[in-house]
């Protein structure tokens, strides 16, 4: 037995004694495949967490912080009150009560909404009717 064969035999025996299996010839080593799988799993998990965190952040920003424009149809509301008052359908007290309701309606619009008059809206803006 040559010196090279003895060294190889001793290393195989040492691996078996330490509980590590000897690598088989002709097949890829499990030690090489396992880190690749772990790295791939970590990449997939990191990617999914990143996507969920980004989507949650964008949704939260859009709902609570992003400035949005809405319009209030004030002219139409006032015209309706005027018409009903002149026809005798409502009294002056009813008009005052509806104006107070209009004020409450405008005050309840969230702070991240910019309010403009409905007269100036052409399209693509939500028009709120009191």
25-83 pLDDT, tens digit per residue, is 555 555 667 888 899 999 999 999 999 999 999 999 999 999 999 999 999 999 999 99
User: pTM for this one?
Assistant: 0.54
Q: What are 10's strand-pairing partners? A: none
Out of 4-18, 36-50, 111-125, give the one with best mean pLDDT: 36-50
Spatial separation of the C-alpha atoms in residues 104 and 78, rounded to whole Å: 15
Query: Taking 90 as the threshold, does the pLDDT of residue 20 lie above it?
Result: no
Percent above pLDDT 90 for the chain: 52
Residue 127 has pLDDT above 70, yes or no: yes
Span of 16-25, 61-70, 102-111 with lowest mean pLDDT: 16-25
- Distance in angstroms (rounded) separating the CA atoms of residues 110 and 106: 9
DSSP label at residue 87:
T
Maximum pairwise Cα distance, the chain: 121
């Amino acid at each position: 037995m040559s010196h090279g064969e003895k060294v190889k035999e001793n290393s195989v025996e040492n691996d078996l004694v330490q509980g590590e299996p000897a690598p088989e010839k002709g097949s890829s080593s499990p030690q090489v495949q396992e880190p690749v799988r772990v790295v791939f799993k970590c990449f997939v998990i990191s990617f999914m967490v990143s996507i969920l965190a980004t989507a949650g952040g964008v949704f939260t920003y859009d709902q609570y912080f992003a400035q949005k424009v809405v319009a209030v149809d004030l002219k139409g509301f006032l015209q309706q009150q005027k018409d009903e008052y002149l026809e005798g359908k409502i009294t002056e007290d009813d008009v005052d009560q509806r104006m107070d309701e209009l004020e409450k309606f405008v005050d309840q619009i969230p702070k991240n909404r910019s309010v403009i008059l409905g007269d100036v809206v052409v399209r693509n803006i939500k028009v709120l009717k009191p």
